[in-house]
A and B are shown apart, each in its own frame.
Chain A
Amino acid sequence: MLKKWKKHNNDEKKGTAPKRGFKFFTLLSLILLCISLSIFFVLMHKTIIYTHFFYIPIILAAIWYKKRAIYIAILLGVMHIFFSILVTSPTLEIFMESMGRASMLFIVAYAIGLMSQRCKDAREEMKSAKERYHAIFEHALTALCVVDSDGKILLANRQFEELVGLQAENLRGRHWTDFVAEEDAERARDYCESRWKGGAPACSLFKFINSKGERKYVNACMEPIPNSKECIISLLDITELKNREEELRKTCKKLEELDKMKRDFLNVAYHEMRSPLAPIVGYASMLEMCAHTEKERKYVRSIERCARQLEKMINRMLELARIDGEAVKLSIERASVRKIVEQAVATLLTEAREKRHKISLSVPDVEIECDKQKIMEVFTNLISNAIKYTEEGGRIEVVVEDRGEDIKCCVSDTGMGIPKEHLPKIFERFYVVDTSLTRKSGSLGLGLSIVKEYVRMHGGKVWAISEVGKGSKFFFTLPKRQEEEKEKEKAKEEKGEK
């Protein structure tokens, strides 16, 4: 087929220009011969049977010049009528007969001309279709080849030649799987077999080794050509993509290692940061016991309070690192939300009293499945923020709404509020609304991240609305039941059934 293709191209290049002159002179001489013969017959034998000779140039003209043969038919027909009138006495019969013969000439010329024209059109159409498909085949961005039932290459495009690094003539008779790397060779053979049978996924990834010994990754697609014993194979060179994927994978691995290194470092760092706090808090607590004056007690308490604050920050950083490392697990139990809120508020009463805040609670007596400590931490964080960011004498409200499947909690304050542009980011790690030197100190931007993570771990959502100068409202939802508990119950039920 490859050979055929080349031959066909060569024929086209040579063209039919020299033949044109030959046809014209042949036809011209045939017509002249016919005319001389007719003159001869008319003058010598006074007959018009010679018209049968006219078919020869007309048929030839119809084949070569298609419908244009009709002009020759007209010329010869008119001549025939003219001679028949000239030779014999012009009777109606003779006139009709000569007219009939002339018409036959037209009909033959027209019919053969038309047929010939149709044939030519069809040939041209086929040629142009062939050219079109050849252009598509040759200029496709994918390497393509046509193989026979044995997998031998019959035809290949330029991309294929480039991919394997061989010219078309060197490809003839070779098997396409010859270029598949050894480790993939068997898989490639299996793939071919199953594709012939119509099975296997259409595409498969193989390693290729070209004539220069370069390794390439190709995505091969083998498709049998209908009604033939040939197959078309397209090979997409994805080496570059693969290399990038490999690079990305390496980067990912490196990042994972770095992340692990960070976590390990943080774990060590937290231990080392917390250790020196022990004597600070320990000795302060001892000093407090033996302090003589109220002033001394006040100083010592201050040391202890600050150390505790530092401890809290360190703990939060550690907790987030643990959440990232998926080390935090929930210990689910049934707990009363009202009790959790009351306990959280109790730990913050001193702070609230110091700032003369009014805290009101509206919590229904509802039980949910949750990690009590973590949900208490969520409430403590939100209420503590409300206390911190509200001017003295503010109002803080904790409202819990029982919604059947879940509960919706809201902690609202009458504080300074959060500018709109910061709202979507406040739950992000390390995000602090105010980083200026005039900011309210004592925040690392970790509290709300922990709130978000704890609520997320429970399968709830957290969000906030706020108006600068008027206050903020922090909402979160918690499902009443946890999946794990549900599963346990299911298992129990199943056991019971058995």
Chain B
Amino acid sequence: MTGENEMSGEIERKMGMKEKKEKKEERRNGKRRKIRVLIVEDAAYMREMLEEMLNQQRDRYEIVGFAANGREAVEKYKELKPDIVTMDLVMEVMDGIQAIKEIKGYDKKAKILVITALGTPEYERESLEAGADACLWKPFTVKNLFEVLERLVSEEQGGG
């Protein structure tokens, strides 16, 4: 167990160093690194809208992929390693809560923003307990979305 912990600690340290290096390079290049976002939504119209919204800040956010259910989300996360995941809760095959658990189990540092129409404190609690970092209730404005995304980004940077 100790060995494993040490190993994972080492990997984390290496990853952190890699990230720092990247950031330094970015700064050197005179531009900010784009924040890579994975959109997890079962409704096509919502995927489309989120895409439109994020495209308003193209130079800041980059959509790396879409997933229509939890299972797909986990697979895509492993494949794409996005900075932020926007996660719906009600989805076929695997629901959002389970997907959050699996993603967090895979990568503790994953930043997950829950975007759902199940706007009750119970679901908020459940999502946060599963490991989500923030919740955004539908309906929301473009301003609401960027506010919460920026908060997550600053948390990540602060934490990093």
Chain A positions near chain B (C-beta within 8 angstroms): 270-272, 274-275, 277-286, 289, 304, 307-308, 311, 315, 318, 322, 327, 329
Contact = CB atoms under 8 A, between A and B. Distances in A.
Interface residues of B, number: 22
A277 B141 CA distance: 11
16 contacts: A271-B117, A274-B117, A274-B138, A275-B117, A277-B139, A280-B139, A281-B139, A282-B141, A283-B49, A283-B52, A285-B142, A285-B144, A315-B119, A322-B120, A327-B120, A329-B121
B140 interface: yes
A482 B43 CA distance: 43
B119 A289 contact: no
A273 to B, nearest CB: 8
A275 B142 contact: no
B122 interface: yes
Given A289-B142, A322-B120, 19 more contacts: A270-B117, A274-B117, A274-B139, A275-B117, A277-B139, A278-B49, A278-B139, A278-B140, A280-B139, A282-B142, A285-B142, A285-B143, A286-B142, A289-B56, A304-B141, A311-B139, A315-B119, A318-B120, A327-B120
A305 to B, nearest CB: 12
A318 B121 CA distance: 12
Contacts of B142: 282, 285-286, 289
A327 B141 contact: no
B120 A286 contact: no
A278 B56 contact: no
Contacts of A318: 119-120
B46 interface: yes
B141 A281 contact: yes
Contacts of A282: 49, 53, 139-142, 145
Nearest to B56: A286
Nearest to A373: B121
Contacts of B141: 281-282, 284-285, 304
Contacts of B138: 274-275, 277-278
Contacts of A283: 49, 52
Interface string B41-68: 0010110010011001000000000000
A280 B56 CA distance: 17
B80 interface: no
A154 B143 CA distance: 91
B90 interface: yes
Contacts of A272: 117
Nearest to B137: A274
Contacts, number: 61
A286 B119 contact: no
Nearest to A283: B49
A6 B111 CA distance: 95
B118 interface: yes
Nearest to A275: B117
B30 to A, nearest CB: 28
B49 A274 contact: no
Contacts of B49: 278-279, 282-283
Interface string B117-160: 11111100000000000000011111111000000000000000
Nearest to A307: B139
Contacts of A284: 141
A329 to B, nearest CB: 8
A260 B33 CA distance: 50
A299 B74 CA distance: 41
Most B CB contacts (10 A, CB to CB) among A284, A285, A307, A315 go to: A285
Contacts of B117: 270-272, 274-275, 277-278
A279 B144 CA distance: 13
A286 B139 contact: no
A181 to B, nearest CB: 47
Contacts of B90: 271
B153 to A, nearest CB: 20
B53 A286 contact: yes
Nearest to A284: B141
A271 B118 contact: yes
Contacts of B53: 282, 286
Contacts of A308: 139
A279 B56 contact: no
B122 A278 contact: no
A279 B138 CA distance: 9
B129 to A, nearest CB: 15
Contacts of B140: 278, 281-282
Nearest to A274: B117
Across the A-B interface, give the 3 residue pairs with the lowest CB-CB distance, nearest first.
A285-B141, A281-B139, A278-B138
A422 B144 CA distance: 41
A304 B142 CA distance: 12
B139 A327 contact: no
A329 B139 CA distance: 24
A322 B120 CA distance: 9
Nearest to B116: A271
A139 to B, nearest CB: 63
B45 A279 contact: yes
B47 to A, nearest CB: 11
A277 to B, nearest CB: 4
Contact of A286 (B46, B52, B118): B52
A279 B119 contact: no
Contacts of B118: 271
Nearest to A277: B139
A128 B73 CA distance: 95
Nearest to A304: B141
A318 B120 CA distance: 9
B143 to A, nearest CB: 6
Nearest to A311: B139
Nearest to A308: B139
A466 B121 CA distance: 36
